[in-house]
Amino acid sequence: MAGRLSEEPWGGARFAYAYLAAFLSLIGAALVGVIAYPILGASGACQADGSGYCLPATTGLVVFVGLAGCLVLAGWFIRLGWQWACWVIVLTLVVGQLTVQANNFYLALVAVLIPALAALITFRRPDRQPGRTGPVIRLVALGVVAAQFIVWFALLAAGA
């Protein structure tokens, strides 16, 4: 018995598998957080921080990296593809940034739609050949959004 699906899900099954992959990735990221928090706390890297934000922020970044890795693995096992995982990561960054900038926690509820939106963006019919420009345009959009988030996070960390 193989641990990987034999073919790429399409149609309504793609959305169900997208939510399954996202759920499994969240469980993996939570496990990374449970392991990382005491290790980072015992390392003493945040001892000089008087505000108390260093340890939760560092743990959050480690958990996000763990989430990204789990999304890539789940996307591979369930055959949603690496583009699906990239779109989930980027859409999560966008929703997180909008939530922080708008200072509205209820905006984070949009994150429930992220796996389905990523499945819709990366959907392709198995009986048709994909176009050549579509993946290039999507990858450029991914790069622009990721670069914009990195610049925003650097400015936020610098206190600007």
> What domain range includes position 44?
13-158
Residue 50 included in any domain:
yes
Residue 30: band (very low, low, confident or very high) from pLDDT cuts 50, 70, 90: very high
Q: Is the pLDDT of residue 2 over 60?
A: no
Mean pLDDT of the chain: 81
Examine residue 37 and state whether it is found in any structural domain, yes or no. Answer: yes
pLDDT at residue 6 in the model: 64
How far apart (Å, rounded) are the C-alpha atoms in residues 96 and 102?
10
**What is the pLDDT averaged over residues 109-117?**
87
Q: What percent of the chain has pLDDT over 90?
A: 16
pLDDT > 70? residue 59: yes
Residue 34 has pLDDT above 50, yes or no: yes
Q: 1 vs 4, which has greater pLDDT? A: 4
Q: Is the pLDDT of residue 25 over 90?
A: yes
Mean pLDDT of 114-120: 87
Tell whether 85 is covered by a domain: yes
For residue 4, is it within any domain?
no
What is the count of structural domains for the chain? 1
Domain-located, residue 52: yes
7 assigned to some structural domain: no
pLDDT-above-70 percentage for the chain: 85
Residue 5 lies in a domain: no
Distances (CA, A) of 131 to 47, 67, 117, 125, 128: 53, 30, 20, 11, 9
pLDDT recorded at residue 44:
77
User: Which of residues 69 and 106 earns the better pLDDT score?
Assistant: 69
Establish if 6 belongs to a structural domain. no
Which token pair is 54? 């260093």
Strongest mean pLDDT among 22-26, 104-108, 131-135 = 22-26
Q: How confident is residue 1, by pLDDT bands cut at 50, 70 and 90?
A: very low
